[in-house]
Amino acid sequence: MATLVPLGTAATFGVLANTAVTNTGPTVVTGDLGVSPAGAVTGFGPGGGTVTGTIHVNDAVAAQAQTDLLAGYANALVQPVTATVPTELGGTTLTPGVYNSASGTFGLNGTLTLDAQGNPNAVFIFKTNTTLITGATGNVNLINQAKSANVFWQVGSSATLGIGSTLRGSILAFTSITATTGAIVDGRLLALGAAVTLDTNTVTVPALSTCSVVVQPVAGPVVVGQPTPVTAVVTCGGLPVSGASVTFNGGAAPVPATTNAAGIATGSLTFNTAGAATVTATVTASGTGCACTGVVSAPLPITVTPQPSCLVVVQPVAGPVVVGQPTPVTAVVTCGGLPVSGASVTFNGGAAPVPATTNAAGIATGSLTFNTAGAATVTATVTASGTGCACTGVVSAPLPITVTPKTSPLSASPACWRVNLPFPFPSLFTATLTATLTPAQAGVPVTFFVSGLPVGTAVTNASGVATLNAGLSILQISASSYTAVATAGGVTVQATGSLVPCFPPA
């Protein structure tokens, strides 16, 4: 649906150029005429053209009009296209909408009829990537309450109006506009980048409507439960209304807003139900002489989509889960099938809950320790998602696991220490440390540690037993245990045996 292009202060200009306005002959411009930022106006005055409004040459008014024209041009440029039509518009009838050309240019040779279908607020926008060229027989005819004020020509480069042709609507040209001899314009000639050239023309600014409230198209998807930014533009006689109170309706609750200096009100609606919906904006207080209060915009249709679902899945655990050994666990968090980055996840099922955070791929990694052998389950709960998806509080399906008892192929026998008599040399104390490898394997080095310090290494015999007579210091005998460490089958294993005083100790 085409919406009115806001022109701001440019709305009062019949002719506006960037570099120059030049005229030949008795041209009549009903409205203002201007040039900015550094141009000249020639051909008006005695013996030349006539301007009923004010001529602005490189002043603040013309500069602001150029700024507002650029905003209007951008608005027209981004409005969604209703249909693509042939280059030649003559001999066709079109209803309200936004039209572009398959060739990127428009020609008008003959009559183009614009049918508003009884809607005085109907808007017609024609978008061309390059040029607009009308022939001598080019004419725009308005029927069924269509208005020149609601017709816009967004031209990507330059427009040329043929001798004696009649155009209705406002030309917003990115570069230049040339109106040849006798061309009639019921609208505006507004050039952003270069000159406007006139020759015995009639340019009449169309009658401006009193007050207009237009809800702008909503950017992006509208999702249940998620705030959706909405904007509306309030104009009075084509000029922005600042400080107007506007209420947006259509969501779960009305939302008030106030227009800024550009007449734009911004709010945020939330929709609780999926499906078709409409957004409207009502001016509740305008603070202007224009009769704006109580004016309601045309409804903007939207489609509200369901909120994407959130899913947390604990991945299968690789390898055995052994009592007392940390077990790596992972979970994947997705929202509507897409990974959720930065979500806080807590793994449960082990001796203590373990927090983690998802990475860019939505994967959280932690490590659980289980103190009891047997059946167990692992779950992951999202505690904070940082996304519009309703992830917080979502719990994964439990992952069943089996926790096996801690076993080791190496065992250490109890040992005791005694005074190294008759002469305590080289150590004051001595102990016999024994470790057994099961199944038996001969020739395996076993290193023994007391108080974290190595005291010697022995090699297993044919029965898999390694025995070390170790000398101990006074510090080491305070330990209550010793540790044996070996490498069996490429895997480092260890075992702990008790270490106590012998009786008698000597």
Task: Please state the rounded mean pLDDT for residues 122-134.
Answer: 96
* Alpha carbon distance 394, 382 (integer Å): 6
Whole-number pLDDT of residue 290: 62
Top-ranked range on mean pLDDT: pick from 238-242, 324-328, 381-385, 464-468: 464-468
Task: Please state the rounded mean pLDDT for residues 157-186.
Answer: 97
Whole-number pLDDT of residue 120: 77
CB 314 within 8 A of CB 331: yes
Q: What are residue 8's phi and psi, to 5 degrees? A: 60, -135
Task: Please state the rounded mean pLDDT for residues 473-491.
Answer: 87
Q: What are residue 481's phi and psi, to 5 degrees? A: -155, 165
Whether the pLDDT of residue 231 is over 90: the answer is yes
Share of the chain above pLDDT 90, in %: 64
Q: pTM of the full predicted structure? A: 0.49
Residue among 365, 367, 338 at smallest CA distance from 351? 367
Task: Please state the rounded mean pLDDT for residues 194-208.
Answer: 92
Whole-number pLDDT of residue 405: 74
Q: What is the mean pLDDT of the chain?
A: 90
Whole-number pLDDT of residue 289: 52
Task: Please state the rounded mean pLDDT for residues 456-485.
Answer: 92
Q: What are residue 471's phi and psi, to 5 degrees? A: -85, 135
* Alpha carbon distance 44, 55 (integer Å): 10
pLDDT by residue (tens digit) across 252-304? Answer: 999 999 999 888 999 999 998 889 999 999 988 766 556 677 888 889 999 99
Task: Please state the rounded mean pLDDT for residues 440-449.
Answer: 93
pLDDT by residue (tens digit) across 44-79? Answer: 998 899 999 999 999 999 999 999 899 999 999 999
Whole-number pLDDT of residue 322: 83
Whole-number pLDDT of residue 259: 92
Q: Which residues contact 493 (CB under 8 A, 6 or more apart)?
A: 408, 409, 410, 485, 486, 487
Whether the pLDDT of residue 457 is over 90: the answer is yes
Residue among 42, 51, 40 at smallest CA distance from 23? 42
Classified as helix, coil or strand, 10 is helix
Q: How many CB atoms lie within 10 A of CB 371?
A: 10
Task: Please state the rounded mean pLDDT for residues 462-482.
Answer: 91
Tokens standing for residue 315: 């991945």
Whether the pLDDT of residue 230 is over 70: the answer is yes
Q: How confident is the model at residue 506 (pLDDT cuts 50, 70, 90)?
A: low
